[in-house]
Amino acid sequence: MLNYDFDWSVLWRAPYGAMFARGVLTTVHLSLLAWLLALVLGACVGAIRMQPWPPLRRLGGAYVSLFRNTPFLVQLFFWYFAAPLLLSESGQLWLYDNVPDYAYWAGVLGLGIYTASRVAEQFRSAFFSIPRDQYRAAFASGLTSIQAYRLVLIPYAFRLALPTITTEFLTCFKNSALAMTIGVMETTHTASHVEAFTSHGLETTTAASLVYLSLAWTVIAAMGAVERRLRIRGLLARRR
Amino acid sequence: MKRRILVIAGGLMVLVLLMGVAYRANAEGILEKIEKTGTVTMGLREGAVPFGFIDEKGQWVGFGVDLGEEIHKALEAKFNKPIQLVKKPMDPKTRIPLITSGAIDIGIGSTTITLAREDVVDFSLPYFLTGTRLLVPKGSPIKDFPDLAGKRVGMGSGSTANINGIDQAMAAGLIAPPCEKVLFDEHNKGFLALQQNKIHAYFTDASMLAGMKAKAEKPGDWEIVGRYLTYEPYGILLPENQGEWRDFVNAALVRTIKSGRYQQIYDKWFGPKGQVPLAMSGEFTMLLKALSYPE
């Protein structure tokens, strides 16, 4: 016996339709910005961890172990509640008055920095999984160290890392839902907000799930296209 | 592709079915169920001083807990046997689903009776009356709602009655230009943001604000300002179509008020020596008189 009247119109009727549209849009640009940060920062940290100079390597290692081994939720709270306290009181006031929607930027920063720690590891493991022969062959052909990395090893590692990087990209979208805990009105927060007003949680939750599902498909399709485009015949030709 | 669609459709159906089970309604009367099983499951607030919270000794106490104890006693008197009281935490987000799913038989928190909520749950008689006001740092230029123009104002994202109230005030031009609403999933997070100057004021029921103020490190640093923007009558949450159970809860409530026990409980929490000193307004006193139904 189901004692529940479905009313799917809560997803589009005013004012909820506009709320959902804004929420989905927020999820998309928050995640994309965070992803951009994660890629750049992750590549840098991954590269630092490959350097021959130990202090630099240790710095990269410290970054990864700090941000990969603490809960993302705690990190979000840190960026939203605690990090601004490091500024002076007037600095804090300036921040809140001049940065519109500080919670949003704390979310971008937190998600980007967290994801970067994971991306860095993917890059590093990709470098390590390049067969030693490739290094030797590159140097044996008379390439300098920089040339060997630029022409042989980085393109190779990037292709090796792509599938796992795709997974990180998907996770980045899904993790963005946690930004609701610091008040960002993204998809999940909007769904629970509309539920609070309408008591139609089944519909809003289903809609939110479908949003994440379609975002994931889009990312998979896009990354698949990237993978196909960058494919080098004979190198990673293990596709069906 | 076709297979993929089938898999997804199947997955979604399982999801909906699982959720459907969670929303299963109680077919039998709750009073019979309580008599049969000898237990009553009660939803209470965990972090709302003084309605329901964990005190320094780790005890689950509060105004709602004491009121629930009165209803528990009335149940034991009715069935003439010990009834086990099972307490479950609820918050503004979970309270309605907990009731509609049948996970709790009764929810005593700080729930405003609204017509929208009446569509999905039932309420007891209103047993508490408060109104929405503002919490600001002492000496703040914000003295009343019009001063909120262009400011950042925090509120609870589950407190729909509050949000509707401030939306109406902005639509009516009381706050112009409109203020920016900053939503928090818990009041205490909003208060933390207020302490950190992330927002200029926090907006919710005066009774709740008084609790936040009392819990602050230095209560003297904060003041509650502004007119009552809306009246918020609280009701006990009950499942839909449980007339006998609702009658029983209402009768227990009326007898608690008439016997003077209600006043004792109120004074214990809201009296001058209570956790959250909050004088009973004239309207509130009148409400209690109106509820003193004859036997």
What domains lie within chain B, and their CATH numbers?
28-127+235-290 (3.40.190.10), 132-231 (3.40.190.10)
Residue A236: band (very low, low, confident or very high) from pLDDT cuts 50, 70, 90: low
Single-letter residue type at B141: P
A197/chain B closest Cα distance in angstroms: 6
Whether a cis peptide bond, with omega within 30° of 0, leads into A71 is no
- The answer to whether the Cβ–Cβ distance between A96 and B160 falls below 8 Å is no
Residue B239: band (very low, low, confident or very high) from pLDDT cuts 50, 70, 90: very high
Which residue in A103, A197, A205 is closest to B160 by CB distance? A197
Residues from A contacting B (CB-CB < 8 Å) are 1-4, 81, 84-85, 92-93, 96, 102-103, 180-181, 183, 185, 189, 192-193, 196-199, 201-202, 205-206, 209, 213
Query: Which chain A residues are Cβ-neighbours of B240 within 8 angstroms?
Result: 3
Report the residue count for chain B.
295
Residue of A26, A76, A199, A200 to mutate, testing the B interface (most B Cβ within 10 Å of its Cβ): A199
* CB-based contact A11:A20 (threshold 8 Å): yes
- The answer to whether the Cβ–Cβ distance between B12 and A1 falls below 8 Å is no
> What integer pLDDT is reported at residue B64 of this predicted model?
96
Residues A22-77 pLDDT 10s: 999 999 999 999 999 999 999 889 888 887 888 999 999 999 999 999 999 999 99
ipTM confidence score: 0.73
* CB-based contact B88:B103 (threshold 8 Å): yes
What lies within 8 Å, CB to CB, of B26 at 6+ separation is B33, B102, B239, B242
Neighbours of A118 (CB within 10 A): 19
Burial of B219 (0-12, 13-18, 19+ CB in 10 A): middle
Q: What is the mean pLDDT of residues B205-218?
A: 91
CA distance B234 to B226: 20
Which residue in A4, A102, A196 is closest to B93 by CB distance? A196
Query: Which chain A residues are Cβ-neighbours of B114 within 8 angstroms?
Result: none
User: Comparing C-alpha atoms, which of B114, B231, B230, B234 is closest to residue B169?
Assistant: B230
B window 59-118, beta carbon within 8 A of A:
92-93, 96-97, 100, 116-117
Q: Chain A within 8 Å of B169 (Cβ-Cβ)?
A: no
Does residue B206 surpass a pLDDT of 90? Answer: yes
- The answer to whether the Cβ–Cβ distance between B24 and A3 falls below 8 Å is yes
Name the fold adopted by A16-230: MetI-like fold (1.10.3720)
Query: Interior CA angle at B186 toward A199 and B66, to 5°?
Result: 85
- The answer to whether the Cβ–Cβ distance between B19 and A209 falls below 8 Å is no
Residues A156-184 pLDDT 10s: 888 888 999 999 999 999 999 999 999 89
User: Comparing C-alpha atoms, which of B216, B200, B244, B252 is closest to residue A97?
Assistant: B200
> What integer pLDDT is reported at residue A80 of this predicted model?
93
User: Comparing C-alpha atoms, which of A171, A168, A140, A148 is closest to residue A50?
Assistant: A148
Residues B8-28 pLDDT 10s: 666 666 665 555 544 444 457
Terminal-residue alpha carbon distance, chain A: 47
> What integer pLDDT is reported at residue A100 of this predicted model?
81
Q: What is the mean pLDDT of residues B269-290?
A: 92
> What integer pLDDT is reported at residue A195 of this predicted model?
86
Range of lowest pLDDT (A90-104, A210-224, B129-143): A90-104
Q: In chain B, pLDDT over 90 holds for what percent of residues?
A: 72
Residue-range domain boundaries for chain A: 16-230
Identify the residue whose tokens are 């729930």. B111
A178/chain B closest Cα distance in angstroms: 12
Q: What is the mean pLDDT of residues A123-135?
A: 88
> What integer pLDDT is reported at residue A110 of this predicted model?
97
CA distance B245 to B87: 18
Residues B245-279 pLDDT 10s: 999 999 999 999 999 999 999 999 999 988 898 88
A49/chain B closest Cα distance in angstroms: 37
Which residue in B97, B157, B198 is closest to A102 by CB distance? B198
Residues B17-61 pLDDT 10s: 555 544 444 457 999 999 999 999 999 999 888 999 998 899 999
Residue B149: band (very low, low, confident or very high) from pLDDT cuts 50, 70, 90: very high
Which three-class secondary structure state does DSSP give residue A134?
helix
Residues B74-119 pLDDT 10s: 999 999 999 999 999 998 888 988 998 899 999 999 999 999 899 8
Single-letter residue type at B248: F
Q: Which residue of B has its CA nearest to A82?
A: B196
* CB-based contact B121:B77 (threshold 8 Å): no
Interface size, chain A vs chain B, as Cβ–Cβ contacts under 8 Å = 67
Which residue in B23, B116, B182 is closest to A2 by CB distance? B23
> What integer pLDDT is reported at residue A240 of this predicted model?
44
Query: Which chain B residues are Cβ-neighbours of A196 within 8 angstroms?
Result: 92-93, 157-158, 160
Residue A5: band (very low, low, confident or very high) from pLDDT cuts 50, 70, 90: confident
Q: Chain A within 8 Å of B239 (Cβ-Cβ)?
A: no
Which three-class secondary structure state does DSSP give residue B44?
strand
Neighbours of A156 (CB within 10 A): 21
pLDDT, mean over chain B: 90
Higher pLDDT pick, A237 / A188 = A188
Query: Which chain A residues are Cβ-neighbours of B116 within 8 angstroms?
Result: 197-199
> What integer pLDDT is reported at residue B47 of this predicted model?
82
Query: Which chain B residues are Cβ-neighbours of A19 within 8 angstroms?
Result: none
User: Comparing C-alpha atoms, which of A178, A177, A201, A10 is closest to residue B15?
Assistant: A201
Alpha-helix runs per DSSP H in chain B:
2-22, 30-37, 63-79, 95-100, 115-118, 160-171, 187-195, 206-215, 243-258, 261-270, 282-290
Which residue in B25, B192, B198 is closest to A96 by CB distance? B198
> What integer pLDDT is reported at residue A1 of this predicted model?
38
Query: Which chain B residues are Cβ-neighbours of A73 within 8 angstroms?
Result: none
